[in-house]
Amino acid sequence: MASIDVNQISKGMRLEIDGEPYEIIDYQHVKPGKGQAFARIKLKNLMTGNVVEKTYKVGEKLNLADFEEREMQYIYNDGDFYYFMDQKTYDQVGVPAQAIKDKVKFLKEEMTCYVQFYKGRPVNIKLPKTVVLEVIDTEPGHKGDTVTNVTKPAKVETGAIVQVPLFINVGDKIKIDTETGEYLERVNK
């Protein structure tokens, strides 16, 4: 297993800590006036989705996780697992629902995602940076509603609620940032 020095960490890097895979969400190098420098790292457990904060002294070695990402297409879910298919080999894998619970609000059938494997086991997914979804429920827009910083809730086809500008109507397709859940723009039909 490969290891790296604490000084070499970066956001998005995957580490193995106590036999579990983690992804670095954020980190901060601290050099106190007295004592040894250290790094405060915010990590997301890729199996459970829990976020933890750990501190390591500079010079400590961290183990890189045995991790692989494969592009796959979402096909269906059965409540406990979300199933994805490799479009080259037609292999199907199930990703545990609890691992991707925060991402399903933007997951649409036939969407291409990256399935993340830890030691050969599917453990998580990475959605595309943006997704285009249809608005299925929102208050109607009115002529003249063009104020840019006023928003209203809109429900999209996957069930997610997104804050959108007043001019968005039912049937409009909108582009959404999957990391922040924010409305980006209306897409021409």
- The b-or-e profile of 49-66 (16+ CB within 10 A means b, else e) is eeeeeeebeeeeebeebe
Over residues 156-181, the pLDDT tens digits come to: 999 999 999 888 889 999 999 998 89
Q: How confident is the model at residue 49 (pLDDT cuts 50, 70, 90)?
A: confident
Which pLDDT score is estimated for 71? 94
Q: How confident is the model at residue 86 (pLDDT cuts 50, 70, 90)?
A: very high
Least confidently predicted of 1-15, 114-128, 138-152? 138-152
Q: How confident is the model at residue 144 (pLDDT cuts 50, 70, 90)?
A: low
Q: How confident is the model at residue 7 (pLDDT cuts 50, 70, 90)?
A: confident
% of the chain at pLDDT higher than 70 = 95
Instruction: State yes or no: pLDDT of 189 exceeds 80.
Output: no
> Could you give all domains of the chain from N- to C-terminal order, each with its CATH number?
3-64 (2.30.30.30), 67-126 (2.40.50.140), 130-187 (2.40.50.140)
1 vs 166: which has the higher pLDDT: 166
Which pLDDT score is estimated for 141? 67
Tell me what the pLDDT averaged over the chain comes to.
Answer: 88
Which pLDDT score is estimated for 147? 59
pTM of the model: 0.74
Mean pLDDT of 38-56: 88
Which pLDDT score is estimated for 115? 92
Which pLDDT score is estimated for 162? 93
Can you give 78-118 as a three-state secondary structure string?
CCCEEEEECCCCCCEEEEEHHHCCCCHHHCCCCCEEEEEEE
State whether residue 1 is helix, strand or coil: coil
